[in-house]
Structure 1
Amino acid sequence: MTQDSQHGKWTISSSDDDDDNDDLPLSGTRTSKAHRPAVSSPSSPLSASPPSPKPEPANTPVSSLVIGSEARQLAAAHQLNPVKYESSPSLAGKRKKEVSDGPGWALSDSDDDDGDVKGKSLSNLPKRSPPSPKTKKPKVENERPPSPHGRLYYIDEPEDFFESSTPCLNETYRFYLNKVTGLDRKYNSGALHIRDILSPLFGTLKESAQFNYCFDIAWMVKQFPPEFRDRPVLIVHGDKREAKARLVQQAQPFPHIRFCQAKLDIAFGTHHTKMMLLWYEEGFRVIILTSNLIRADWYQKTQGMWMSPLFPRLPKGSSESAGESPTFFKRDLLEYLAAYRAPELEEWIQRIKEHDLSETRVYLVGSTPGRYVGSDMERWGHLRLRKLLYDHTDPVAGEEKWPVIGQFSSIGSMGLDKTKWLKGEFQRTMTTLGKSSLRSDPPMHLVYPSVEDVRTSLEGYPAGGSLPYSIQTAQKQLWLHSFFHRWKANATGRSHAMPHIKTYMRTSPDFTQLAWFLVTSANLSKAAWGALEKNNTQVMVRSYELGVLYVPAAFNMKTFPLHKDSSPASSSTGFPVPFDLPPTCYSPEDQPWIWNIPYSQAPDTHGNIWVPS
């Protein structure tokens, strides 16, 4: 069917997204042919930018590389199958031009493809007269045009990218960003890659459990150091039917891998939790993060994680309550794992009981699928967050002016107007500060990449495959876009590394203090956070999610200090917020990224366009 909107006129599939759909699960009840991103190389060296990161080998089936949302599969597929950018795009009736065999990037017949330009903006490149026919360069398959971000942004990780000694860790907050290939080294200082996390520097690994949404098992196995590569791994996933079969097939070469399928009894729910349980000879560690277990999520995206201390084993004969933290993290983690009702997790539950988690200073905020009534309503989702904020934060003077900031990479349906969920129950949670009776209506800033943010990112338009906000959902809530702010992260050097991280916080009006901070897998959706039903006597949650909440009292502070130059590598006491404050509101020209409509008016930093088909 055809729809008109401020985003243009697009023909889309007739199957609308479910109101609460967060990420489209492969195992769900629908697929859509409207979501086919196509990318291209430029037709002119002066309008060129470099192509995508080195793709996986072309003879590897895409289905074996990415298990997860349809957006992710298709973004991966079409990095292998790019389409030429036309300087005057007119796509109607025009056959897409495909790359020839092999994974190289077929450039257009450009005269001046100078791969040695270092870090120069394309607008500063000198214009050259066309060479004579006898000096014209032949078309070269694997040359790349220059990058506006510098010539190194698309290369594989350099040799010193991975830590050879224990990285500089932020022992106060234990919150870290991931490393991003192509950023200046100073912006990766103190950040972590998955290989760093799994390295022997953090412990002698005996066994691990990997909870996630998307998996590339062969890639995951290679991230373990050789000496740990055959240690038992339990994969906790939510895939069903064909997607489950593909996942199991991926693991066939790896007999040390076992599976635990999360129960998803409510339609359109997903297993979206991202957590590692690492059991060492020296103890036990928990990592709660925002990255899927696929290379793209650890390459040029902004991600975040909380890494626990190394928890020592309790003495034999310790009581049931031993090893608990002031934040009751141990109790809540055990309760979360028990909610899976999975025999495969019983040994992990027992291991956690045998370790001392008392050093933990964060609170666990989880979601598990179900309909909850009475006191159980406060166990999961945003009502769990509300309860924690009520019990463990304090009112502040002038709190009606303290803005709420939410930042995410996917958006579900909020309803026909802002009062239905966002400014109703969700805002009440986000504005809770202690036992204050004040029900304030402070500013709410929602940070989500614009089309221009995606276009000019390190990955270019393919980064939008991890930002699955659909035209079907956007059309129903144009009111939401007035809340949107640009993704900007100059202080951490990550403006051009699109976010897959999700964070929520409450700051002072001058953005120098933080009342609380949450890093989580939960995007902005009712499926993730839960929604009240039956006249507010029941809450329904569709998905598994997990995050950690920082409150100042757990760190013996009244508020967390914020500094504009703070980062996970900083020695300052400022909390490491991963984007710039204050947030920058969308201009009248800005549009939120919508992944299933074309963007063909301007090439991205790879010289590509985005053409769903």
Structure 2
Amino acid sequence: MSQDSQHGRWTISSSEDEEEALPPSGTTASKPQQPAVSIHIPHQSASPPGPEPGSVTAQVKPEPAQSPVSSLVIGSEARQLAAKNQLNPVKYETSPSLAGKRKKEVPDGSGWALSDSDDDDVKKKGVSNLPKSTPPSPKAKKPKVKTERPPSPHGRLYYIDEPDDFFESSIPCSNDPYRFYLNKVTGLDRKYNSGALHIRDILSPLFGTLKESVQFNYCFDIAWMVEQYPTEFRDRPVLIVHGDKREAKARLVQQAQPFPHVKFCQAKLDIAFGTHHTKMMLLWYEEGFRVIITTSNLIRADWYQKTQGMWMSPLFPRLPKGSSASAGESPTFFKRDLLEYLASYRAPELEEWIQRIKEHDLSETRVYLVGSTPGRYVGSDMERWGHLRLRKLLYEHTEPIPGEERWPVIGQFSSIGSMGLDKTKWLTGEFQRTMTTLGKSSLRSDPPMHLLYPSVEDVRTSLEGYPAGGSLPYSIQTAQKQLWLHSFFHRWMANTTGRSHAMPHIKTYMRASPDFTQLAWFIVTSANLSKAAWGALEKNNTQIMVRSYELGVLYVPSAFGMKTFPVHKNPFPASSSSSFSFPVPFDLPPTCYSPKDQPWIWNIPYNQAPDTHGNIWVPS
């Protein structure tokens, strides 16, 4: 539908969400794509040094109904744009004609960093063919073989790919009670990768002699994935659980043609705008069985210069033959819940794995499983999935805390869905009700809610530069419908300066003390901030509708014999001396957006300041 606002008129997508609602990787458009539309708004720069032009006419890329993909690019259109930007960057150039221009005032402070790009034509036409009424746009330049890059603000190692020691396998500390890890990030000092894991570490023979594996995920690069397995395991059977349909499915299967040991299982997605967003590995060894629940897609970009999180289970031993059906259960009922989650796929390909899990001892697990599966649920089934599942666990396994009304909720994510015209429609209604549950307290507190999401400046100065925004698919169409949300936003700042420039794809939620030294609970999950991922109540709260598959693990202090988790604010380099402090993956206290900050919006241009590679961002 069309909508007017202070920022112009454009077509609004019917999509509920961003990353979740975009079609899976490789989808080919089944209907004509909406044309780009012009929006006349005041300019707001990404706070660089340099010229500030006045009012401009800009082309905004509408959120796609479908997401075409080339043979070289995998993922949503935002990710495809990032890859295109990296392959054929648009260099930043200053222009004398822009000098001395004043930025026009934005009456309500809600302006966006829109540039003067001419959408698809900007790289073909250059400056001369743009409308005379607009300031000149930077010219597109093909990358030159011997072009010198600008000095890196992140040190000399920034431009190095994976150094020789990057793939040296490492085993986490044996006395780590939480088994929560971040990924390795290329281009950082080694100490900031201490205790972190790469996918090659996870699949290393150091963790077991692999026989078979299952990879659940949203986005796949099959050839890259196969290469991450050690040579001795590279031909072992792999089952891919995905949500792709039609052309996207055909492209995924085509990727696997050179690898006969790779098989597929298609997840059923019967509700519009749902995706298979779960990211999990099941690893079956000669020595036992292991589960890894992560936030990373199976593509190189997600394991390169982004902040990701994961929970790695202990090695689960095989039960003695003849063990009872209830044997090997953990105090958190992780085995029961994992089997229930796998059964929800109703997939014959997973039956063998369900039986294998039944034959193993999962009793050492100390986290709770929180999953989402597509459907509409009523009665007691409402508490099986989504945020009501989290609410039930918090009700049953946490305790009320004195002064809890001052304990803020902190959410951190890489994609944002449509949540309604005001905050009470979902965010501060049913979702906050879940997030503020502490035991059986009847207190209905309304504590602060801090939402961590990268600003334009965070993305611009990141290790990847503007292309990092390809995995932050918050669209202008969704953002303009919920300007109220932006008052909740806080800057992304990873723990210690060394990690702050690796843009987040991790998703975490927690409840912290007012001084941010204690946690009441913590969850790492694939679920972004959206109704599609967490579910939304319907029919006067008698039904919950969930669109997507998601999976995460919940940490509660009682499962670790504690009342609260002490916060470990500086987890790098990793040290066993703080083994009972929880390694929160971002700076505390959170830093609120300044008046100059704007949330990253993927489908509008940013051309007023170069990123760390000397490039600008032109959606085309």
The TM-score, its normalising length taken from structure 2, stands at 0.85
Query: Does 1:486 find its partner at 2:491?
Result: yes
* Partner in structure 2 of residue 372 of structure 1: 377
> Which among 79, 83, 95 is matched to residue 90 of structure 2?
83
> Unpaired runs of 5+ in structure 1?
37-45, 48-60, 99-105, 111-138
Q: What is the 5 A alignment of 1:341-356?
A: 341-356=346-361
CA shift at 1:142, angstroms? 4.7
* Partner in structure 2 of residue 43 of structure 1: none
Amino acid at match of 1:580: D
Q: Deviations over 1:378-412 (max 9, x none)?
A: 00000000000000000000000000000000000
> Unpaired runs of 5+ in structure 2?
38-48, 51-67, 99-114, 125-138
Count of aligned pairs? 554
**3-state secondary structure, aligned to 2:196:** coil
* Partner in structure 2 of residue 123 of structure 1: none
Amino acid at match of 1:560: F
* Partner in structure 1 of residue 242 of structure 2: 237
Whether the 8 Å contact between 2:122 and 2:140 is mirrored in structure 1 is no
- Range moving further from structure 2, 67-76 or 439-448: 67-76
> Which among 468, 474, 487 is matched to residue 469 of structure 1?
474
* Partner in structure 1 of residue 555 of structure 2: 550
Alpha-carbon spacing, 1:62–1:597, altered in 2? closer, same or farther (3 Å)? same
CA shift at 1:34, angstroms? 6.9
- Range moving further from structure 2, 76-85 or 333-342: 76-85
Alpha-carbon spacing, 1:468–1:268, altered in 2? closer, same or farther (3 Å)? same
* Partner in structure 2 of residue 592 of structure 1: 599
* Partner in structure 2 of residue 272 of structure 1: 277
Alpha-carbon spacing, 1:170–1:144, altered in 2? closer, same or farther (3 Å)? farther
* Partner in structure 2 of residue 452 of structure 1: 457
**3-state secondary structure, aligned to 1:453:** helix
Whether the 8 Å contact between 2:366 and 2:559 is mirrored in structure 1 is yes
Whether the 8 Å contact between 1:214 and 1:294 is mirrored in structure 2 is yes
Q: Distance in 2 between matches of 1:402 and 1:92?
A: 45
Whether the 8 Å contact between 1:66 and 1:214 is mirrored in structure 2 is no
Amino acid at match of 2:286: E
Alpha-carbon spacing, 1:92–1:377, altered in 2? closer, same or farther (3 Å)? closer
* Partner in structure 1 of residue 16 of structure 2: 19
Q: Distance in 2 between matches of 1:580 and 1:169?
A: 26
> Which among 360, 363, 387 is matched to residue 358 of structure 1?
363
**3-state secondary structure, aligned to 1:406:** strand
* Partner in structure 2 of residue 226 of structure 1: 231
Q: Distance in 1 between matches of 2:31 and 2:324?
A: 50
Q: What is the 5 A alignment of 1:376-387?
A: 376-387=381-392
* Partner in structure 1 of residue 252 of structure 2: 247
Q: Deviations over 1:321-374 (max 9, x none)?
A: 000000000000000000000000000000000000000000000000000000
**3-state secondary structure, aligned to 1:63:** coil
The TM-score, its normalising length taken from structure 1, stands at 0.86
Q: Distance in 1 between matches of 2:415 and 2:182?
A: 19
* Partner in structure 2 of residue 209 of structure 1: 214
**3-state secondary structure, aligned to 2:425:** coil
* Partner in structure 2 of residue 288 of structure 1: 293
* Partner in structure 2 of residue 121 of structure 1: none
Whether the 8 Å contact between 1:284 and 1:310 is mirrored in structure 2 is yes
* Partner in structure 2 of residue 442 of structure 1: 447
Q: What is the 5 A alignment of 1:321-336?
A: 321-336=326-341
Amino acid at match of 1:19: E
- Range moving further from structure 2, 67-76 or 472-481: 67-76
Whether the 8 Å contact between 1:62 and 1:76 is mirrored in structure 2 is no
Alpha-carbon spacing, 1:295–1:192, altered in 2? closer, same or farther (3 Å)? same
Whether the 8 Å contact between 1:15 and 1:32 is mirrored in structure 2 is no
Q: Distance in 2 between matches of 1:546 and 1:580?
A: 25
Q: What is the 5 A alignment of 1:523-542?
A: 523-542=528-547
Q: Deviations over 1:104-145 (max 9, x none)?
A: xx99799xxxxxxxxxxxxxxxxxxxxxxxxxxxx7545423
Whether the 8 Å contact between 1:568 and 1:576 is mirrored in structure 2 is no
**3-state secondary structure, aligned to 1:277:** strand
> Which among 562, 576, 583 is matched to residue 576 of structure 1?
583
- Range moving further from structure 2, 521-530 or 481-490: 481-490
Using the aligned pairs only, state the percent identity: 85
CA shift at 1:440, angstroms? 0.2
Alpha-carbon spacing, 1:93–1:481, altered in 2? closer, same or farther (3 Å)? closer
CA shift at 1:169, angstroms? 5.4
Query: Does 1:70 find its partner at 2:77?
Result: yes
* Partner in structure 2 of residue 180 of structure 1: 185
Q: Distance in 2 between matches of 1:568 and 1:314?
A: 37
* Partner in structure 1 of residue 430 of structure 2: 425
Q: What is the 5 A alignment of 1:305-324?
A: 305-324=310-329
Q: Distance in 2 between matches of 1:603 and 1:31?
A: 33
Task: Extract structure 1 runs of 4+ deviating beyond 6 A.
Answer: 1-6, 28-31, 33-36, 106-110
Whether the 8 Å contact between 1:17 and 1:472 is mirrored in structure 2 is no
CA shift at 1:3, angstroms? 7.9
